[in-house]
């Protein structure tokens, strides 16, 4: 895996993990002000969620990198067999 493809895989993994983590710990306000969305979180804690997303995406990326480098699953060999 080259540098550019590694970065692309990390960015895609980061976004997928972010959308999985965003709903964690969401608390809505009991009686929101008129004109505010009833589903808006009181404290979105985005910095914490971005940090958790970065760590989880890095762990997943290391797993993907190890899988690609180990040749345990050879994408080229599978493509040649088709």
Could you read off the pLDDT of 29-57 as tens digits, one per residue? 888 778 888 888 888 888 999 999 999 99
Confidence of residue 70 (pLDDT cuts 50, 70, 90): confident
Cα atoms in the 13 Å half-sphere on the side-chain side of 59: 6
Beta carbons of 64 and 13 less than 8 angstroms apart: yes
Dihedral pair phi/psi, residue 41, rounded to 5°: -70, 150
Per-residue pLDDT, 3: 92
**How many whole angstroms separate alpha carbon 19 and alpha carbon 25?**
13
Instruction: Give the Cβ contact number of residue 17 at 10 Å.
Output: 21
């Amino acid at each position: 895996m080259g540098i550019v493809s590694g970065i692309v895989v990390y960015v895609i993994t980061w976004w997928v993990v972010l959308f999985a983590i965003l709903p964690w710990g969401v608390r809505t306000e009991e009686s929101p002000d008129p004109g505010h969305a009833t589903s808006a979180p009181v404290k979105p804690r985005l910095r914490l969620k971005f940090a958790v997303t970065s760590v989880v995406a890095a762990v997943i990326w290391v797993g993907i990198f190890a899988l690609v480098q180990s040749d345990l699953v050879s994408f080229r060999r599978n493509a040649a067999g088709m």
